[in-house]
Amino acid sequence: MDVTERQRYGKRLRRARLSRGLGLVETAEALGKSPSTVATWEAGAIPNAVDAVRLARLLGTRAEVLFGGEAANTNAKRRRPRAPSAPPTPEAPDPSADLTVDRSEAFAQ
């Protein structure tokens, strides 16, 4: 990962943190890190894998999004493709329905 990519990571990280309304100190405390550690990440230092995932979860996104591997939509969630819906089935007759036939009208003259 070159310097420019690390800087982009830091900018995405900062933007995500601010969009969640989190301060630097709040973010650091939630992760059990110092504010200076979070600030170095925002400056382009890359956290270890565990911290990157914890940070992404805190910010309501995935680590891949922060690293720029996917569209930076923090609300995007993976969805399973829906199976095609089956055609409607005809309604089964109600077994409790009255099956008697009124024949009086058929033979009336």
Domain that holds residue 11: 3-66
39-80, pLDDT tens digit by residue? 999 999 999 999 999 999 999 999 999 888 765 444 445 556
pTM: 0.61
Indicate which CATH number applies to the domain containing 60: 1.10.260.40
Residue 103 lies in a domain: no
Residue 12 lies in a domain: yes
Give me the percent of the chain exceeding a pLDDT of 70: 63
Residue 27 lies in a domain: yes
DSSP annotation of 85 reads P
The reported pLDDT for the residue numbered 103 is 61
Q: How many domains does the chain have?
A: 1
Spell 49-79 as b/e; 16+ CB within 10 A means b.
eebbebbbebbebbbebbbeeeeeebeeeee
